[in-house]
Amino acid sequence: MHRINDFVWEFEKDDKLGMRVPVRVYANKHIVEQMQKDRTLLQARNGAALPSIVKNMLVMPDGHEGYSFPIGGVAALGADDGVISPGAVGYDINCGVRVIKTNLSYSDVKPKLSHLMDRLFNNVPSGVGSTMNLGFTNSDLEKIALEGVNHLVKKGYCSAEDIERTEERGCIEGAMPNKVSELAKKRGIQQLGTLGAGNHFAEVQKVDKILNKEIAKSFGLQEGQVVIMLHSGSRGYGHQVCSDYLRVLAEYTRKNSIKLADPELCYARIGSKEADDYLGAMRSAINFAFCNRQIMMHFIRKSFEQTFSKSYDALGMELLYDLSHNIAKLEEHFVDGKRMKLYVHRKGATRAFGPGSSDVTKLYRAVGQPVLIPGSMGTASYILAGREESMNETFGSSCHGAGRVMSRHQALREIPSSRTLDEMERKHIAIRVRSKKLVSEEAEWAYKDVDQVVASVEGAKISNAVARLVPVGVAKG
């Protein structure tokens, strides 16, 4: 691996390893050294061996070892002769983030914070296997897969303004719910509107620092303002889709005598029945996840209304943006001066389209798409904006969070929950959590320094830092 500059490193293409393209790593020296302690870079080299991958296999600064393909990885594969790989999307299809603004200041919220967090914790179910029976039928579930958040408008959970501020307007085309197993549907139908566990959270935050005044103004952000960050995905519905199709595609590779450096990184050729079926099921899970976050936002708004005795409109509870960081999308990008259709796999990586892109809502097109970066529990989070350079350098991609440096098992062994709880109390952060085990697994010391991660993507000129947010209340599974 050689250094291109302080924030960009490269592994040259190596035919002996089956690499078709180089691996580009976006990180400072310290983070690159952290990545060498697990299988992150080995998995990236395996990703670089995927058929029809173009330009570079990419690793963002929050990159760490994942299932077959690094979390923080980006691979763009030709749409005409390429492949689709569930391992390069991940189990939690369309895991993503949304940020909801308010017109409240921290001084407004502080006296009522405890009551607010109690209501949030009660209104948005969290934890492993959490459910919420909202009366959705199997017919609703099919319409959610096909129509995304548009179906929720009819149910009173969504507005036209919310749709405009959601990636893909909350509905990706090409969903095929008939390609989703009955088990996935059974797992999903009562999990709509639930947070889940792991690193998922609903967090009340205040804007600590404005880092780019012009873009912050376009996003409607100012210092001291209270916002809510929500991080969750497609729950058991998406997890089951991934599990089902990993088996299908593993059989495809066996049947077609395809040799893989890592059997977990199985794939199918675009145009094959197996690839088409997975794409239809994956897109169904994408739309499910958009709806899951939309319903949770409805109940977050309700929690604020109950606490402050005002409507969410009067509280200025407008969606800033919602986006995915576990997804494969058909996009057009320039590669060596030629415009190409590509399936861009982003696993733990965020779309970060720059100013002027027609794929960015008109609300933000002049300044670039919002990029929402959660930190670890008790640390800062960030709002960034895509840059024009990212379109040429990273297929319009950026980081998605802090990125782990410890496995969950290691964190459980080495970080007592009391250490995190004491630190949260010291920082005056209200916490509501269902499991002390989770407090250890998700402790800030189990993650990279999010400030360094964000400095890396800004140093590499693939995102602009717009605002730094700090938590005041955390609700987790």
Separation between Cα atoms, residue 416 and residue 393, nearest integer Å: 41
Is 77 in a helix, a strand, or coil? strand
Asked if residues 228 and 99 have their Cβ atoms less than 8 Å apart, the reply is: yes
H-only helix segments in 159-234: 160-164, 182-189, 213-219
Asked if residues 204 and 116 have their Cβ atoms less than 8 Å apart, the reply is: yes
Non-local CB neighbours of 258 within 8 Å, separated by 6+ positions: 252, 266, 267
The residue from 2, 400, 409, 428 that is catalytic is 400
Is 149 in a helix, a strand, or coil? coil
Q: How far is CA 409 from CA 264, 406, 441, in A?
A: 21, 8, 7
Separation between Cα atoms, residue 84 and residue 71, nearest integer Å: 17
Burial class (CB in 10 A: 0-12, 13-18, 19+), 133: exposed
Q: How far is CA 211 from CA 197, 208, 223, 465, in A?
A: 31, 10, 10, 6
Separation between Cα atoms, residue 23 and residue 358, nearest integer Å: 29
To which residue do tokens 């459980």 refer? 412
Asked if residues 463 and 373 have their Cβ atoms less than 8 Å apart, the reply is: no
Give helix then strand counts, H and E, for the chain.
16, 19
Kindly give the pairing relationship between strand 463-476 and strand 430-433. Answer: parallel
Separation between Cα atoms, residue 116 and residue 133, nearest integer Å: 23
Q: Examine the residue annotation and report whether 400 is marked as an active-site residue of this protein.
A: yes
Tell me which residues are annotated as active site.
400
